[in-house]
Amino acid sequence: MILSREAKERVIENFLGNFHTYKIGLKNCQRQLDYIMPSLTARYDSGDGGSSFYISNNTERVALDRLTSKKALDLLEEIEQYKVIIDSIEEAVRELNEQQKKFVHYRYFLGQKIYEVKEHLFLAENKGVYRIRRQVLDKFLISLNNLLNLK
């Protein structure tokens, strides 16, 4: 399915608006995964009789069973997806100029209205803030294109 430019912009703006929520989601998924999979210490030894690999933990069997569980695999996939979103946004924002970064911060990360962003950026006209928005979205349509295919 091919999205229109406006639809792509809405998807990207949605990712930007939920940026901090993705960070919280990442932490919570990691916490849940840590709970499901207790810490394991793996060791590899080589000696006279050959080499051996073992896990030194009392819950070895339980942990290995849990490792292959559907829930753990789903959490790992969700964690990786959140990492892609967060890293992509952080890298795309680093490429903006200072005024554009401030626009993204106020408009998307803090969720402020356009007129509030205009005041923070000390712009006299609405055209100025919309011009900055257009510049930001033009850049993000390229640098965040990878996010358009995520669910």
pLDDT in tens, 105-137: 999 999 999 999 999 999 988 899 999 999 999
As a whole number of Å, the CA-based R_g of the chain is 22
Of 148, 138, 142, 150, the residue nearest 2 (C-alpha): 148
Residue range 64-84: average pLDDT? Answer: 78
CB burial class (10 A; 0-12, 13-18, 19+) of residue 56? Answer: exposed
Residue range 67-75: average pLDDT? Answer: 73
DSSP H or E run through 53: strand 50-55
Share of the chain above pLDDT 70, in %: 77
- All structural domains of the chain, each given as residue ranges with its CATH number in brackets, are 41-149 (1.10.10.10)
